[in-house]
Amino acid sequence: MESDPYASFREKLNQEYTWPALYMFKFIAPAERKNDVEQLFPGEKLSWRHSGKGNYISLTVTLQMTSAETIISLYRKAAAIPGLIAL
């Protein structure tokens, strides 16, 4: 049986937050992956910053989340985007 790589993170989230709660996501990704990152947050108004040379984009968004599982679900989807870094 494979261990859950998010177990420690889940535990920390549940210790620190009372659900529902506001949670801040921060990502950096190659600029050509902007659409992929946008799809993580359908219907949300997102603010982007571009790197000096325009090769990368950064996103910070704060959303009302219902549980640690909803946060982890978004991070699992984000992990599938090539070149994306979650901060």
pLDDT digits (tens, 9 = 90+) for 8-30: 999 999 999 999 999 999 999 99
pLDDT at 2 over 80: no
What type of residue sits at position 40? L
This prediction has a pTM of: 0.89
How far is Cα 40 from Cα 14, in angstroms, rounded to an integer? Answer: 22
Ordered by start, the domain boundaries in the chain are 20-86
What tens digit of pLDDT does each residue of 35-83 get? 999 999 999 988 899 999 999 999 999 999 999 999 999 999 999 999 9
Strands (E), 1-87: 21-30, 48-50, 56-65, 85-86
- CATH 3.30.70.120 at 20-86, yes or no: yes
